Structure 1
């Protein structure tokens, strides 16, 4: 006598005296078995609901289905939208305990009544075949024997059933092959007849129950994947929007992300040294990646002219200076032309050749001096990576004067121009530098408004610290080494390296990799960067990841 799950509670509550002793013992065994099966289904349900990796979830569903049905092999299909419209079944994976086949490639099959999986997906019916090669006449479906022929396998009993969600929508198909008398048996074509039995009602009920749980888990998992994909799209769109404001940094965030994740993976694998006890989970690696990709998002709060400022002076300021020096040169020419006219006025009839030659010589010298002043300003306008420049020349030029169109005495350079040209490093003056530095705070404020999951909650703080230095000279919080997350320290190394070697920055020439690595070493020596991380960056050749990305 066999009982189903639906009879379990009835048997538990029916008085035992109404059965004979033999029946009583048999029913007790049945109840014990059902209790075990229910417990196992519950444990499987918990395991399925806690697995967030989509591929591992599918593997687990098929594996557990085979286990509870003593199935030698099986395959799993998922329903999906086809490019032509309508739905198809995608073959996702197969398992087989008796043969070692090469990895299966995914493919799609139509949802129609010709194949076993297609028939089940279209009708929602459960198919049980005692022998795949003896399908009754008049059936619309047929068995595809290609696998058996290719690998020397013998498919006999089959159980094909739909995976339906809470709305009774079929999201996939489970196909179990060859129910064995003993799970440990490895089948050969010759041993199939002796060791394979049909799928019984109990197996069908158990696998059907598992399939229903599996469908819900798959849907939830896909929903999570879609949400994650949506967020990834938002992140990508956000970074693209920022980099369009400053096209010169295009790809910077992606490169920093790739190198920082590469460093994190090296740290995670370290088995000696200061990082041997530091391990990162998959979610923490994802957290690092998000923080690195979004580390410059706060630049949305920085004025665009400051963001893209390529030289110490803005283009319109340089044009004003150019026009000013054109006027100065014309003024010099007029001055010496006036000297010639004055000489002619007071020395009529006298030879003026020698005097004019002297005036022309002095004119040429004065024009040359004005041009040299302008060229010095142009050179001083170029930003540098290290503190250097033509500062003395700028101050000397600033002391020179000329008379403007109204005859008033004016300086060659005005105070704001002097201030900008005396910028010792880079293209930004102090006020502009502070505005650029404010992007870190803008980034933190923006990222803090995102309701991050528990596993990603540190994204804002990791991004916030990527401009801090170990000795406390960084910004915005002037943190020292113990207060700076290691994730931020790794990002800082990657960020500086990419900024040094980037070919798309108009305000500086790109440093070659060897020069950039030397600068990283100097930064570590000055206690700005973590020396062990810099060493790992160099020895692990993390910079090659950027080469591959650029390639």
Structure 2
């Protein structure tokens, strides 16, 4: 049996050291597994090798990489060819441990198995291997099977080498004890690398799950916000990819790695996480008088009281001697008509809209000066100060204080995200997520940043956030705008310093808006678009 000289041992130690360095820097699982197997083959001068990983249910060993030099076979890993061999069961149909397969035996007992000649071994079942040899005209002889376990003793893989060759004669020989010890050392290093990679993947999965958990909480609190939290990152990535692929213009130098994409996607998912602190009656305020409920019903009741009191007063007047019943009835009818018209007007005013006329605001105040008597017998103004404040809101359904509460969500988003110990490759998440309400001219919030102070990613997310909000068809306080109107508004934003005009140009030129619309908007909203008529865009 060939023994190693000092030079060969030194070479193997160098290979182990080199592999250790490579294992720490390789983040591709398939390439990592292939590197482990190829170094093991080279170290022992093996003709072939296989690397197994346990299945998710731990019931079988699945082939990950299979290499054989003589047969010119390479499956899995960088080959791109799928592994055709079936899995090795770890348990039989009765739930008993499978000890007849050498790989399964090594996996169960955590022991290396070194066989000089498999055709002379009677401990394990090599019928499948014999059939393989007959089919391929191959001769399997020496086997070295080494389990790979993590720091807790859990199996992470099995490394199997076949037919070690004498480096001088090329004759097949047995794997030596030195071979076995080196491969066991290699397997230990590989197990650490695989465990490290698995733990990183688990942590990333945990992080994404926590992000989804936050969004589930927001979604349960407000289903309207939940949809927004899913669509904004989707649209953000669509536009970011278009910018990445742009080769001309002021954004030609922008590019993203896969890590950059993951960072931006995560920021998109978290861009409104601060809304979890915003009161639900503010987030979902569909009408001006809505709090926990829509107070328009209470106002309707007051009108009914005024109508009832007017009728009672008319009846009492008719009982007076010499009363003119016809005149009283006509006066009552006129008053009731006025009250019902005012009730209808207040119902409409409660809906909110793009802009309430000053004369309509004054009419609300005039109606509010009516007096009515409540159940307690006390006469008071028809509207409370808070009701009057809400009913005269000019734009939308939010008061100034409520709008500040809504705007505060971005402050809370930044505070929440900056409080987290982000790893280096995700350190920009707070900046990307926290900048989508800033403006290019510095008039945005919460920090009043200008274009030059913002990353491209944050500027991309600002466009995605606005466009999704304009087109959203599920908001309680508005209908989704048509595509043409949304682009007109966004185009004006590009002209007045609200959004980045260079990004807007890419958004239109690459028809990102249309791709998103067909995927996520109601077909009734998608009208014909003449790009030459979009403000701020030159075809």
Aligned to 1:331: 309
Superposed displacement of residue 488, structure 1: 1.4
Any idea what SS the aligned residue of 2:340 has?
helix
CA RMSD of aligned residues (A): 3.4
Counterparts of 1:269 and 1:308, CA distance in 2 = 38
For the structure 1 residues 332 and 468, does the alpha-carbon distance in structure 2 shift closer, same or farther, using more than 3 Å as the test?
same
Question: What do the CA deviations read for 1:84-131 (whole angstroms, capped 9, x no partner)?
Answer: xx6542333434561466423785621622223212212334345566
Structure 2 residue aligned with 1:450: 420
Q: Select the residue among 276, 279, 282 that pairs with 2:252.
A: 276
SS of 2:50 mapped into structure 1 = strand
- In structure 2, the partner of 1:239 is 215
User: How far apart, in 1, do the equivalents of 2:67 and 2:249 lie?
Assistant: 42
Instruction: Check if 1:254 corresponds to 2:230.
Output: yes
1 CA distance for matches of 2:450 and 2:424? Answer: 26
Taking the aligned partners of 1:550 and 1:160, their CA distance within structure 2 comes to: 57
* Number of aligned residue pairs: 499
Q: CA distance change for structure 1 residues 149 and 325 in 2, over 3 Å: closer, same or farther?
A: farther
Q: CA deviation at 1:448?
A: 1.8
Q: Which residue of 2 aligns with 1:318?
A: 296
Name the counterpart of 2:109.
123
Between the aligned partners of 1:156 and 1:545, the Cα distance in structure 2 is 57
- CA distance in 2 between counterparts of 1:465 and 1:254 reads 18
CA distance in 2, matches of 1:96, 1:540: 50
Q: 1:213 Cα deviation (Å)?
A: 0.6
Offset, 1:322: 1.3
Out of 150, 159, 180, the residue aligned to residue 144 of structure 2 is 159
Q: How far apart, CA to CA, are the structure 1 residues paired with 2:401 and 2:456?
A: 30
**For the Cα contact (< 8 Å) 1:252–1:498, is it kept in 2?**
yes
Per-residue CA distance 1:405-453 (angstroms, 9 max, x = gap): 2898855544433322232322211010001111111111111221111
1:189 corresponding residue in structure 2? none
> Aligned residue for 2:78?
none
Q: Which residue of 2 aligns with 1:541?
A: 512
Q: Specify the alignment match of 1:402 in structure 2.
A: 370
SS of the residue corresponding to residue 146 of structure 2 reads: strand
- Please state whether the residue corresponding to 1:346 is helix, strand or coil: coil
TM-score of the superposed pair, with normalisation by structure 2:
0.82
SS in 1 for 2:373: coil
Structure 1 or 2, whichever has the larger Rg, is 1
Aligned match of 1:491:
461
2:436 matched to 1:466?
Answer: yes
Native 8 Å contact 2:112 2:145 kept in 1: yes
Secondary structure class of the residue paired with 1:43: helix
Q: Deviations over 1:436-486 (max 9, x none)?
A: 111111111111221111221222222221111112221111111111222
Taking structure 1 as reference, are residues 536 and 143 closer, same or farther at Cα in structure 2, changes over 3 Å only? farther
Alignment partner, residue 205 of structure 2: 229
Decide whether the 8 Å contact of 2:364 with 2:388 is kept in 1.
Answer: no
> Relative to 1, partners in 2 of residues 1:440 and 1:124: Cα closer, same or farther, differing over 3 Å?
same
Going from structure 1 to structure 2, the CA distance change for 1:154 and 1:138 (only over 3 Å counts) comes to closer
Structure 1 residues 151, 379: CA separation in 2 closer, same or farther (over 3 Å shift)? farther
Q: Deviations over 1:480-506 (max 9, x none)?
A: 111122221122222222222333321
| Aligned partner (choices 34, 39, 52) of residue 77 of structure 1 | 52
Structure 2 equivalent of residue 139 of structure 1: 123
Cα distance in 2, alignment partners of residues 549 and 306 from structure 1: 26
Alpha-carbon contact 2:102-2:124 (below 8 Å) kept: no
Residue 42 (structure 1) shift:
0.7
Deviations 1:130-159 (A, max 9, x none): 66xx52252223252499489957363543
The 1:362–1:167 alpha-carbon spacing in structure 2 relative to 1, beyond 3 Å, is: closer
SS of equivalent to 2:62? strand
Q: CA deviation at 1:516?
A: 3.0
Given that 1:130 and 1:156 are in contact with CA atoms closer than 8 Å, whether structure 2 keeps it comes out as no
Rate the CA distance shift 1:199–1:495 in 2: closer, same or farther, 3 A: farther
Give the Cα–Cα distance (whole angstroms) in 2 for the partners of residues 310 and 168 of structure 1. 58
Structure 1: any 5+ residue segments left out of the alignment?
5-29, 183-193
1:27 maps to: none
* 5+ residue gaps, structure 2: 76-80, 92-97, 523-539
- Indicate the residue corresponding to 2:158 in structure 1: 173
Q: Secondary structure at the match of 2:394?
A: coil
Q: Distance in 2 between matches of 1:153 and 1:550?
A: 61
Write the distance in 2 (CA, Å) between the matches of 1:38 and 1:473: 63
CA distance in 2, matches of 1:316, 1:305: 10
